Structure 1
Amino acid sequence: MKIAADKGQQAGKHEVKHNWLKQNGHELLELPLPVGDYIEITEAVQSVIDRRGDKLKKMDFMGVVKVSVDTKKDLQEVVGNIQGKSHARFRDECILAQQNGIKLYILVEHGGKITSLESVKDWKNPRQFLYERKIRKEFGIPKGTDFQTEVAELKSHGAKIVRGPTTGEELYKAMVTMQEKYGVEWVFCDKKETGKRIVELLGGISSEKNRQYFK
């Protein structure tokens, strides 16, 4: 399969998946992509590349790209995309894909027990520990007591407590909303499997050679 990787990706952070793709017979080119990080270079896409040459711009692919895969290194990055400073950019990309008939898969390379959208509910945000430690110290909450109960009690007496980091439950609900509203699809994998998952999602498992990787 001939695959285009977005040339806007940060250098040096994608070697594992890119090496897997090259080692397993897939040709990888860097091109400006309208949405996502990876697309298949179909005949229609190749014709745009040939026609535009060095004048190629990402919007030239609108109308010929049908599927794109966007990768996220972990759930912490997803938090930033949905509830952080990069929310507007991420939302606009989802809308752009939706309006132009592009199926956008968002492949989260978190690994471990995060294997489905449902499993995001059980995610423990690593920032929660630091937050709890700070609040316990600030308000004199004893160690060993239930943190949420103590915080609720303090708030009932008028204490102003800064909101904590996003929980797994909150992130799950936000991701479901994005999926339902914009038609994106969340997919999950371990980092060492990202390359073959990209091929699978782009539809490149028709040959016997590729099919063996997805048994």
Structure 2
Amino acid sequence: MSDGKIHIPARRKQPVDDQMVVKVTPEAYNALVDIYNESTLSLKQIAINAGIQLVILVEHGPDIQSLEDVWFWENPRKHEVRWRMVNGKREKYVVSAKAVDGNQLYKSLCTIRDRYNVRFEFCEKKDTGKEIMRILSGGGR
């Protein structure tokens, strides 16, 4: 970086379109971090300028197909009730009363999506390999 240019080592050049996924070497990643640390731009702005977007692939059943479906998700731990013995008496308690429900999770994911330009993709466990290949080959939804 002494000549003012960014040198990112690559095996061969590949054209980048709007939905292309670019794999970078550890050296290129470290160069990007250096640029970020020396820049007044946010990491989101640097990524947008470079055409980079983080994609998070979420494995779930057929009932969750999009981010909006997360709103209706019911966390099984939220309302799970168990019994325990306290001073010789049976007492009912909620396993995880503070567990996140679908509404809270949806709001958090939307904040991450909007604040950091992250794309969430959803698939069933049986389709995970196929979806990873589609995303890495630049396929969008």
Structure 1, unmatched stretches of 5+, are: 1-43, 49-56, 65-94, 140-161, 206-215
- Residue number in structure 2 paired with 1:193: 127
Contact 1:98–1:183, Cα closer than 8 Å, also in 2? no
Number of corresponding residues = 102
CA apart distance, 1:163: 4.8
Structure 2, unmatched stretches of 5+, are: 1-8, 14-24, 33-41, 84-90
Superposed CA deviations along residues 34-55 of structure 1, whole A, max 9, x for unmatched, are xxxxxxxxxx74259xxxxxxx
CA apart distance, 1:179: 0.2
Distance in 1 separating the partners of 2:93 and 2:72: 27
CA apart distance, 1:196: 2.0
Distance in 1 separating the partners of 2:132 and 2:93: 46
Coordinate RMSD, CA, aligned: 3.6
- Residue number in structure 1 paired with 2:114: 180
Contact 1:111–1:188, Cα closer than 8 Å, also in 2? no
**Which of 33, 46, 60 lines up with 2:11 in the alignment?**
46
Q: Would you say 1:99 and 2:46 are equivalent positions? A: yes
| Percent sequence identity over aligned pairs | 38
Distance in 1 separating the partners of 2:110 and 2:67: 8
SS of the aligned residue for 2:54 comes to: strand
Superposed CA deviations along residues 167-201 of structure 1, whole A, max 9, x for unmatched, are 01100010001000000011100122122222222
SS of the aligned residue for 2:28 comes to: helix
Distance in 1 separating the partners of 2:136 and 2:120: 14
CA apart distance, 1:202: 2.6
Q: Would you say 1:137 and 2:137 are equivalent positions? A: no
More contact order relative to length (CA 8 Å, sep ≥ 6): 2
SS of the aligned residue for 2:120 comes to: strand
Quickly say closer, same or farther: Cα 1:199–1:59, change in 2 above 3 A: same
CA apart distance, 1:164: 2.2
SS of the aligned residue for 1:169 comes to: helix
SS of the aligned residue for 1:128 comes to: coil
TM-score by length of 2: 0.56
TM-score by length of 1: 0.38
Contact 1:111–1:191, Cα closer than 8 Å, also in 2? yes
